[in-house]
Structure 1
């Protein structure tokens, strides 16, 4: 059973309020979108059942109104152990990113939010199947970028070793 968007928002707010200075409403909305997308792409289904709309400034989970207060008086979110484990990992990954990196990832022109806005217009619902597909493509992009980075690092390392050991690497 999926968690409620409000509980996911409380969980994310607790973490990112301390990780990012000036944590705001659209920061929370972008993180909700990313959490939902990565949950779908990992094959776990929807993280929360509430819809996400294609607002002009950011994807919006309309059921989460305003910025949640971060003080200790907030209740502990009601999440399944599996969802809490996923969100722990999500917060670890995105906690080291800054809001600009998160915004760039969310604002991708080939992402579900932008495609929905382009095709369906302002306020159209971002379909979970589209989110799953575009986030899986993002995983492939990330894997390819990582492969290219490793390849360039290996070439650089070989060149460094070749320059330091003229006898072993000289041509015949």
Structure 2
């Protein structure tokens, strides 16, 4: 059973209302897009069945409309237990990021919503298969960046050790 986009929006609003100052409508839309994409890319299928469209400013889950209500107005979301577990981990990951980092990740030129907009025009539906492919590419990019950073750190440590005259790193 998948959860409804509206319930996921409520869950995300509960969390990010506190994590980000001035949490807004497009912030929520970007987070819905990211949650859906990572859920699909992780092999769990769609998180919610409502479509996401390629709006000119951001990916848009059209079933989630209007301004964000204040926290007191938010009902408790009705989520499948597995979806709630996924969203807990998602909120931990993105809760430490700022809105600009999230915007940069969503606005990549090779993102599913940009590609859907390019091919289908304003408001085109973003196919889940395209989301899966582009989010898996983001994982590969992230892995490659981490590999390069680790290699740089190892090089720095070896240089320090050689400079410190550690026998194991002396040139022959």
What is the TM-score of this pair, normalised by structure 2? Answer: 0.97
CA contact (8 A) 1:54 1:60 kept: yes
2-structure distance, mates of 1:11, 1:166? 53
What's the counterpart of residue 30 of structure 1?
30
2-structure distance, mates of 1:125, 1:87? 23
CA contact (8 A) 2:24 2:68 kept: no
Distance 1:80 1:168, change over 3 A: closer
Deviates more, 1:150-159 or 1:63-72: 63-72
Residue 32 (structure 1) shift = 0.3
1-structure distance, mates of 2:3, 2:158? 50
1-structure distance, mates of 2:171, 2:143? 34
**SS at 1:79 equivalent:** coil
Aligned residues between the structures = 172
**SS at 1:57 equivalent:** coil
- Mapping of 1:154-169 within 5 angstroms? 154-165=154-165, 169=169
Distance 1:167 1:34, change over 3 A: closer
Tell me the C-alpha RMSD between the 2 structures: 1.1
What's the counterpart of residue 79 of structure 1?
79
- Listed as ranges, the gaps of 5+ residues in structure 2 are none
2-structure distance, mates of 1:133, 1:171? 46
Residue 166 (structure 1) shift = 6.0
Distance 1:2 1:148, change over 3 A: same
2-structure distance, mates of 1:169, 1:142? 30
Write out per-residue CA displacement over residues 53-108 of structure 1, whole angstroms, 9 at most, x where no aligned residue. 00000000000002331323421100011000000000000000000000000000
What is the TM-score of this pair, normalised by structure 1? Answer: 0.97
- Listed as ranges, the gaps of 5+ residues in structure 1 are none
CA contact (8 A) 1:15 1:91 kept: yes
2-structure distance, mates of 1:70, 1:113? 28
What's the counterpart of residue 45 of structure 1?
45
What's the counterpart of residue 59 of structure 1?
59
